[in-house]
Amino acid sequence: MMMGGQGGGGGGGGSGFWGDRVVEKLMSIQGPTHELPPLDMAEKNFSGRARLYIGNLTPDTTEDQLKELVSQFGETGETFFNAEKHFAFLRMSTRAEAEKAKRGLDGQMRGGRPLKVRFAPHQAAVRVSNLGPWVTNELLHHAFSVFGDLERCLVLVDDRGRSKHEGLVEFERKNSALEAIKRCQEGCFFLTASLRPVVAELVESAEDDDGLQEKMLNKRSQEFHVEREVRSCLDPQIKGGKMGFSLGMRSRS
């Protein structure tokens, strides 16, 4: 990776310092963090959260045709098109547009095949935890910027707005995410005065709000057949038969 590489074991100070780009950046932002400017939380355009996987294309589909198809839902950006394996990754301008494209195109029949459209996993998303109570979006952003440019940065809060001590850092580039994780694993990254090192790991799954859709089930399963044979049943008696309704209400006395 981008480490200095002069790794002297043992002692605290010494070599490997001036060649270390990350440490240099950290030095450049040194000082108290009592006054951090508010973060712009507006969505960045063409971010990793707005990237779609589109599969099961017919062999004759061209990249231009695919882009035209998707562009009815919004502006398209960077595209990776694999003609041999009939799939593509395609970035859209906003998450909302990508959602619309997914809803509009997933399952659509083209040339006798249903299109398969999913959110692609973010390639540079890092889950951070073990954060102290004084680590905010702004401080997390401030600190993790030393590894590269950020798209989104968030400290999760509970119902009362208190820190859950974990958060999400989404970089623009995968290298930045890997660098951040490596540094947090091999050393300790302290964001405040407390000796509480950040724990960082790669997020490998895609965020998806579409839940379990009927078309995702294996309907040839015998279990599906049996479980779905009956209607939904509201049974106020518990003991009542599962195949029909029990009609009385539970006694209140």
Chain positions 108 to 147 lying near its own copies, rule: CB under 8 A, are 132-139, 142-143, 146
Question: Which of 84, 109, 193, 222: binder of its own copies (CB under 8 A)?
Answer: 193
Beta carbon of residue 145, minimum distance to its own copies (angstroms, whole number): 10
Beta carbon of residue 52, minimum distance to its own copies (angstroms, whole number): 15
Q: State yes or no: residue 234 binds its own copies (CB under 8 A).
A: yes
Segment interacting with its own copies, rule: CB under 8 A, options 55-63, 77-85, 161-169, 170-178: 161-169
Please say whether the beta carbons of 48 and 122 come within 8 A. yes
What does the alpha-carbon distance between residue 85 and residue 242 come to, in Å, rounded to a whole number?
48
Question: Which of 45, 71, 163, 175: binder of its own copies (CB under 8 A)?
Answer: 163
Q: Of 63 and 75, which has the nearer Cβ to its own copies?
A: 75
Q: Of 59 and 187, which has the nearer Cβ to its own copies?
A: 187
Q: State yes or no: residue 246 binds its own copies (CB under 8 A).
A: yes
Q: Which amino acid is at 38?
A: P
Radius of gyration of the chain (CA): 25
**Binders of its own copies in range 68-97 (CB under 8 A):** 96
Indicate the SS3 state at residue 118.
strand
Beta carbon of residue 190, minimum distance to its own copies (angstroms, whole number): 4
Per-residue tokens: 128: 């951070």
3-state DSSP of 155-172: EEECCCCCEEEEEEEEEC
Using CA atoms, how far residue 134 sits from 130, 160, 167, 180, 196, in Å, is 12, 15, 13, 20, 12
Beta carbon of residue 167, minimum distance to its own copies (angstroms, whole number): 7
Question: Which of 109, 112, 213, 222: binder of its own copies (CB under 8 A)?
Answer: 213
Per-residue tokens: 131: 């954060």
Using CA atoms, how far residue 9 sits from 24, 138, 145, 185, 189, in Å, is 20, 34, 27, 16, 18
Beta carbon of residue 168, minimum distance to its own copies (angstroms, whole number): 8
What does the alpha-carbon distance between residue 200 and residue 227 come to, in Å, rounded to a whole number?
42
What does the alpha-carbon distance between residue 165 and residue 198 come to, in Å, rounded to a whole number?
10
Q: Of 11 and 59, which has the nearer Cβ to its own copies?
A: 11
Residue 80: enclosing H or E segment and its boundaries? strand 76-82
Beta carbon of residue 1, minimum distance to its own copies (angstroms, whole number): 11
**Binders of its own copies in range 21-60 (CB under 8 A):** 22-23, 26-27, 29-34, 36, 38-39, 41-42
Segment interacting with its own copies, rule: CB under 8 A, options 79-87, 108-116, 122-130, 180-188: 180-188
Per DSSP, 64 falls in state H
